[in-house]
Each structure stands twice: as C-alpha cells, then as structure tokens.
C-alpha cells in the first residue's frame, strides 16, 4: 500500500490491510487489566478487533494466517497523549515504536481530515484524537491559535469548536480566570473536556474549581505550593526568577494535599518530563548526545532548522545560570510526579513532540523510563500509556487492554515488559487498525523516513496558461533559501489584459518543520485578478499538504465589500464578509506582486499606508501595508542596486519584506527574517 503525499514529495509504503483473520500463537499475553501474564495463549484478530483469546491448545487456527509468538509478549499498543502531529514521516516513527494512538494538542481542520483518513483505513495509523486550536488571551496569527478577549467571545469560540468536531478544548497561559470559566462552562454544555496549561494568573486549584480537568507539563503547579514564607517572584513559568524559586523546592505536604484532591476529582496530569529535561539543551550538544545521536537521522532537515532557531544557548541572557536552575527545577517536577502517583492522581504518558530534541515514538520509551525513575513499577508506568489514556478518553470499552471484542492495537515484545520496560524499545511486530507490521516493515518505515530529505524536490509547476487575450506576459521563478539550504521555490506569471487589469498566478512549493503548523513539503497556489490600480477583484488560494487541500476564494462584490468562502481539508465549508473598500494583496498572498506595487508607488508617489488583504493560516485578514524605500536616501538614475520594502502591520505585529532591485528594475533578492529569495538561474 503506497500513500502519495498529494504529489508533494516521496511516498510512504505500508503493508496491505489484513484481508483475513490472523492468529498470534503460543504467545504470553500481558492484558494490562492487572499486573499479570497469561502464558501460552493464541490471540485471533479479525477486521482490526480481537475475536478470540484462549489457551493455544484450544484455539483452532485453520484457514488463518499466523504469527509465531513463542517466547514473545503481547500487550496493548502505546499512547502518546501529548503530540503536535504535522509531518508525513511522523506516522512511521510512531508506529515503529509501538505508538498506536496519539492525542494531538493543537488542532486544525488538517487533523480532522487526518483522523477521517485513519478511521477509513486510508492510512494505518496511529489513531488520532485532537484538541481544538489553542484558545489564549492573545492571537499569534497561527491557524492553531485563537484569541478570546472576553467571556462572551470565549463561549462563542468554544461552542464553534465543539460544533466543528474537535474532541477536547485546549487553553493556554494568558487567559484570565473569568475567561477560563466561560470556556469550561461552554465546554461542559458541549460534553468536552478542557485541558492545557494552567493560566498564569491562576493556581491549579482555582483552575479546577472553574472546570479545568486536565493539565499539561505541570506548568504552574508550584503556585501556592512553595515553602512557607517563600514568595513567587513572578508569574511566567520560563522567567529565571521563577525557575530558581521552584528549583529550591516546594511544600511537599501542600502538593500532596493537591494531589489527593485531584485523585478524588479525577483531574489528570500529563507531565511530559522528557521534553522538560531536554528541550533547552544547546543544539550540538543535544543532537550528539547518547540519547539522540543514533536516531537524529530520522528528524527532517526542516525540523532540525526549527530546533536550531529555538536554541536558547544562542540568546543574549545568562543561559548557563538559567539552564542550571532549569535542571534543578526538573528534579522537583519528578518529585511531584512521584507524589501525584502515590496519592492516586491520574497520570498520562505524553512527550510534546516535535518540540526541540524530542523524536516521535522514541520519546515515549524515554517517558516510560522517567515514570519508573519517579517511583513507579513497570506495570504502573505502562498503565499511563495504555489503560489510563483509554479511561481518560472514555474509551475503556474499546481499547487499552488485551480483551476479546476490543481493538487489536497490539505490540509484540521480545521480553516481559513487567520485568523490564526497556524491552519495548525493540519490538517484534505492531498491529494497528487492521494492519500488521513485521519487524522488517518497521525497519523499512524508519529507513524510508531517514531518506525523505534526500528525495525532496522543489519542482517548478507550470503557471500562466490561462487567458488567451493579453497585452503582455512576464514570468519568473525564485529560490527560497535559509542559509545554504533551499527550502522552497516560487514560480509566477503576470499577465496584463487590454483593459489594464492584471492576472497574477503564483505557486509556492516549500517545506517547513514548525511545531504549530503544517510540516513536510506543501504547495500554495494563488490566482489573482487585480484592477489597474492593483486592488483585488478576486483571489483564489489553494493550499495542498500531504493530507489534502483547502481552497479559499475572495470576491469583491458590487457594494465594494469582499466575500470570503473557504473549504477546509475535511470538506467543511464556511463563509464570511469583510466590510472594506478595495484592498491590495499583501506579500504573503502573492510575493511577486510587490515589485508591481513598488513601480506604482514610484510612478504615482504612493507611499502612504494602505489596507491590504492576506489569506493566511485559514483566515482572511485586513492588514496595513506600506510600500517605502528601504533607506532615507532617494534613489538616483544609474544606481546599480536599490531597495524598497513592504511593511505589513497587523495590530502590534510588524513584518518587513525587503526587495532589492538591479539597475534594470529586476528583483535580485528578497529578504524577510531568516529567509531569502533569489532568482532561479
């Protein structure tokens, strides 16, 4: 079974879905209903479910394919309950490590479509549960981030996300307690759990009291629980003063009382110790460490670039002091995990992939080891990756233990994981969603993932084959670069019509490895119809990823207002109106339009701020656009090079695109932050 990534890169190859019952014979079953092993069993799976479990001597396997489980141990597949799932190769890494279910922690329509494909068995897995986009007190501009500026807005957003089909609501640090309460109230009406970071202004107890029932990373658990007489010097969990204060220790009795209360109220924690321990190490030290050096080849180059950009050791602050305090704080958090476990507060294994220096799938085994280091037995740690996630999701009747009638999401280990959890690092086979992966299949997935970067091809698609009656045509292509690496390519065509209107076609093929946005190779294709003054008559944007595509159309109506229609990756259609006068396109909508705007500004002395439109991150937004010279000097005839910039303002956010022109008026370079675009020779 080959899965093409929407023509956006190399394919992944999966085994064919099982077409007949399969029997795993003579195997020791670790059912995970309690701390026990059932020896010499035969387990029959059919259509993705467990049909029969019994002593091998009493189960007939006539007419079935078989897997010899002698001297092997069969147990439920593992769950990673905190991931950010974006790139195609992540499925390979999860499955190769026995992860058969993930909880995605910053959702988008992309994940709803991915979920549908897995349910329909167009992809084998892992199964995916997804939260909503993050709701916070500020707007990052990303498609996975929504701002709630008051209780009414919070209720509207939460209700809309529930209607949209997300399975949980995720919140973050900047919310007020009043807004959090509004979110929790609406989510309760919609039957959804609220999970995420405890807001900076609240204690865990306050957040629980207004309805929050699951916490990530233990963020802020120390608030109100420091030793008597010690004041918290701030609220932000990453500030040096706060980290140093927590590193000195917490009031363990107070933490124990909180843990007991969470146990009584069934309030969950997903500590993600593996990411807390490693995410702030220097890049070279991290990727060459014993824990990563042998698996870093599986991290896409776009992911490595993102890790490097976020390396805190390169920032201008007392890094070593901060890092030392961070490590001591992590020891305190491990102590807290032990207390939570002792008091019976429910815990989940989660790893926060693809945050820095955390590799999908492999990180689950690290987190299991962290849980045993915090005082759990192997069985107790494994429960946090099997039966407890199923209970947390209200799906204990469907999966989480090895039992007849439940999903056959199973892993075959070479040794008894109840004796040593390390045996799960080298699995013999994985069964998920009606598919069977042998060790050879798993190795093939890993090797294919390691080779993906060498197969990325930024092919130049053909553009400019539309209208036949044109006054002139101009075409070109730019290579997008970060340092020495090509990370994308823009191909464009400009056509002027006899009436002075413009037809702009542009295709941008690129790869990225962001934590909260699409990863892998993708293509954005835009077609603009512009008035002679370059304002938008109509804009069409198609965004293709390995999961599918979305399509947005912006149309100017007779009343000089815009109508925006969008069809998301999962087929959901929605519409909105933008009440505005005619708008210019901004550089993120069409990079190649800016030289036309520069020419217009030079010819018409047009340098004042104007309104523009961007179709980005699933939204239509009105922004302020300024086209101005890059320095205070006036360019003169005969200059070899001159530069103009497009300044885009969205609230307090400002983005500057600088265009350098050669003496013949052609673009020789475009820069925006770390990215540079240069003409393709």
Alpha-carbon distance of 411 to 78, in angstroms, equals 8
* 3-state DSSP assignment of residue 272: coil
Helix, strand, or coil (residue 187): helix
CATH superfamily for domain 15-76+405-452 = Urease, subunit C, domain 1 (2.30.40.10)
Please state the rounded mean pLDDT for residues 482-490. 87
**What is the distance between the alpha carbons of residues 325 and 328, in angstroms, rounded to a whole number?**
5
Distance CA 329, CA 548 (A): 42
- Provide the pLDDT for residue 633: 47
**Measured distance CA(80)–CA(389) in Å, rounded:** 9
pLDDT digits (tens, 9 = 90+) for 199-252: 999 999 999 999 999 999 999 999 999 998 888 888 888 889 999 999 999 999
Which has the higher per-residue pLDDT, 606 or 364?
364
Q: In CATH terms, is domain 77-395 a member of 3.20.20.140? A: yes
- Is the confidence at residue 134, as pLDDT, over 50? yes
* pLDDT tens for each residue of 544-595: 888 889 999 999 987 778 999 999 999 999 898 887 788 999 998 999 999 9
Q: Is the model's pLDDT at 639 over the cut of 60?
A: no
Q: Is 405 exposed, middle or buried (0-12, 13-18, 19+ CB in 10 A)?
A: exposed
Q: What pLDDT is stored for residue 469 in this prediction? A: 54
Partners of 95 in the beta sheet?
A: none
Q: Taking 60 as the threshold, does the pLDDT of residue 145 lie above it? A: yes
The predicted structure's pLDDT at residue 431: 98
What is the per-residue pLDDT across 453-481, written as a single tens digit (0 to 9) for each? 655 566 655 665 554 455 567 899 999 99
Name which of 578, 559, 542, 401 is nearest 30 in CA terms: 401
Query: Which has more confidence, 447 or 472?
Result: 447
Average model confidence (pLDDT) across the chain: 90
pLDDT for 100 beyond 90: yes
């Amino acid at each position: 079974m080959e899965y093409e990534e929407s023509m956006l890169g190399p394919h992944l190859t999966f085994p064919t879905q099982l077409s007949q019952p399969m029997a795993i014979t003579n195997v020791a079953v670790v059912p995970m209903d309690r701390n026990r092993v059932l020896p010499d069993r035969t387990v029959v799976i059919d259509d993705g479910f467990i049909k029969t479990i019994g002593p091998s001597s009493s189960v007939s396997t006539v007419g079935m394919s078989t897997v010899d489980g002698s001297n092997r141990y069969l147990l439920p597949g593992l769950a990673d309950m905190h991931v950010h799932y974006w790139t195609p190769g992540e499925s390979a890494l999860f499955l190769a490590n026995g992860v058969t279910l993930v909880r995605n922690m910053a959702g988008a329509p992309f994940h709803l479509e991915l979920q549908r494909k897995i349910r329909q068995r167009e992809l084998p897995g892992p199964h995916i549960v997804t939260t909503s986009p993050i709701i916070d007190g500020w707007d990052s501009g990303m498609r996975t981030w929504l701002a709630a500026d008051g209780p009414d807005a919070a209720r509207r957003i939460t209700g809309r996300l529930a209607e949209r089909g997300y399975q949980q609501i995720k919140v973050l640090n900047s919310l007020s307690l009043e807004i959090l309460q509004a979110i929790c109230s609406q989510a309760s009406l919609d039957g959804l759990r609220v999970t995420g970071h405890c807001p900076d202004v609240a204690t865990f107890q306050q957040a629980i009291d207004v309805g929050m029932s699951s916490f990530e990373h233990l963020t802020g658990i120390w608030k109100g629980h420091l030793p008597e007489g010690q004041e918290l010097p701030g609220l932000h969990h990453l500030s040096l003063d706060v980290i140093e204060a927590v590193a000195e220790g917490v009031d363990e009795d107070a933490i124990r009382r909180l843990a007991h209360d969470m146990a009584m109220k069934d309030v969950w924690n997903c500590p993600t110790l593996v990411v807390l321990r490693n995410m702030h190490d220097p890049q070279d030290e991290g990727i060459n460490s014993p824990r990563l050096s042998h698996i870093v080849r599986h991290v896409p180059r776009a992911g490595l670039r993102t890790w490097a950009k976020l390396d805190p050791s390169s920032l201008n602050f007392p890094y070593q002091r901060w890092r030392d305090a961070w490590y001591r704080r992590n020891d305190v958090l491990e102590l807290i995990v032990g207390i939570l476990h002792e008091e019976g507060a429910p815990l989940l294994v989660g790893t926060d992939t693809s945050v820095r220096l955390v590799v999908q799938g492999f990180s689950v085994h690290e987190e299991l080891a962290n849980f045993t280091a915090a005082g759990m037995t192997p069985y107790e740690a494994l429960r946090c990756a099997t039966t407890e996630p199923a209970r947390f999701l209200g799906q204990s009747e469907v999966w989480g233990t090895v039992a007849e009638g439940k999903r056959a999401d199973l892993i075959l280990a070479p040794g008894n994981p109840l004796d040593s959890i390390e045996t799960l690092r080298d699995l013999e086979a994985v069964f998920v969603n009606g598919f069977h992966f042998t060790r050879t299949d798993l190795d093939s997935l890993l090797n294919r993932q390691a080779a993906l970067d060498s197969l990325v091809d930024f092919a130049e698609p053909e553009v400019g084959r539309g209208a036949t009656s044109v006054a002139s045509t101009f075409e070109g292509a730019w290579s997008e670069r970060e340092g020495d690496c090509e990370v994308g390519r823009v191909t464009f065509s400009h056509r002027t019509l006899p009436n002075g209107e413009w037809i702009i076609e542009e295709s941008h093929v690129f790869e990225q490895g962001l934590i909260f946005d699409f990863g892998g190779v993708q293509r954005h294709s835009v077609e603009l119809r512009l008035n002679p003054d370059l304002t938008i008559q109509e804009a069409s944007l198609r965004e293709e990823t390995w999961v599918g595509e979305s399509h947005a159309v912006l149309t100017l109506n007779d009343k000089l207002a815009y109508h925006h229609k969008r069809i998301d990756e999962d087929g959901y259609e929605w519409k909105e109106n933008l009440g505005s006068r005619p708008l210019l396109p901004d550089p993120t909508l069409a990079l190649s339009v800016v030289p036309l705007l520069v020419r217009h500004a030079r010819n018409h002395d047009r340098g004042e701020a104007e309104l523009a439109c961007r179709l980005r991150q699933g939204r239509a937004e009105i922004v302020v656009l300024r086209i101005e010279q890059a320095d205070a000097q006036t360019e003169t005839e005969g200059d070899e090079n001159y530069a103009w910039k497009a300044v885009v303002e969205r609230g307090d956010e400002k983005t500057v695109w600088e265009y350098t022109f050669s003496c013949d008026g052609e673009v020789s370079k475009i820069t925006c932050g770390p990215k540079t675009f240069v003409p393709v020779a």
